[in-house]
Structure 1
């Protein structure tokens, strides 16, 4: 259900390259949640984790314009996580939305599948192929 890949780059460079690639790919970057910083403010220490919330309006509208598909808005926006492991390796993870969407069919499968494919193309230059 989830995909995890190793990045070609360190944490900081991966985060910056992801940011740039999302925008270059015609997507909107809605938010970046720096979980390390958020937890630090609460007195906790964790390794670097940033969660990128990304959206493509032309796809989102297809899920939100009809009542039947609005149920799936809880899966929106798309999220990609960049984090560092205790071994110092930078990872990129995300939901395999295409597999999940097959369960629902119709416009949900079409939109989530398309979003997944586009995001995988954006991530491809950042990850080590296995």
Structure 2
């Protein structure tokens, strides 16, 4: 009986430790931030050039600073580029079971200034996120994640 209590306590403690580890590490694993070598505008220009060079498209750029100003909030510069490579996107969008991942599309690259005066680029870790799904979604997100990372590496501090 004593051994059973130790096993149960061990399982509970193990589960709590695992929950703590996952909860503290998950945000760092799923979101990636890098400092840019360039000014805000030059970072956006260079990213757009890299997007074009890779054969990707930019359906839209959201100016979150301007959006927030409409609601009387003053925030530092933030623009979010929606980038897409149609031949990768169609792998997910053309299949009923994979279309659930459309909420993660298109890939987003955020460029922003922090109060330290530096410019940063952030993005979802698409490769890790795709790994959670497996199958076609994983394959598509691996390609998208690796290619978008190549695009981003053109502007970040190494």
TM-score, shorter chain, exceeding 0.5: yes
Structure having the higher strand fraction is 1
Q: 1:9 aligns with which of 2, 14, 38?
A: 38
Task: State the distance in 2 between where 1:104 and 1:41 align.
Answer: 38
Task: State the distance in 2 between where 1:17 and 1:41 align.
Answer: 28
How many residues are paired up?
129
Alignment of 1:1-130 (within 5 A): 1-129=30-158
Task: State the distance in 2 between where 1:103 and 1:44 align.
Answer: 36
How far 1:23 sits from its partner (Å)? 1.4
Task: State the distance in 2 between where 1:125 and 1:23 align.
Answer: 13
Moved over 6 A (4+): none
How far 1:42 sits from its partner (Å)? 1.9
Q: Which has the higher contact order (CA 8 A, sep 6+)?
A: 1
How far 1:103 sits from its partner (Å)? 1.2
Structure having the higher helix fraction is 2
Task: State the distance in 2 between where 1:65 and 1:87 align.
Answer: 44
- Give the TM-score, by structure 2 length: 0.80
Which of the two has higher C-alpha Rg?
2
Task: State the distance in 1 between where 2:143 and 2:107 align.
Answer: 12
Secondary structure, counterpart of 1:99 in structure 2: helix
Gapped runs of 5+ residues in structure 1? Answer: none
Task: State the distance in 2 between where 1:40 and 1:125 align.
Answer: 30
Task: State the distance in 2 between where 1:16 and 1:110 align.
Answer: 29
Gapped runs of 5+ residues in structure 2? Answer: 1-29
- Give the TM-score, by structure 1 length: 0.96
Task: State the distance in 2 between where 1:103 and 1:120 align.
Answer: 19
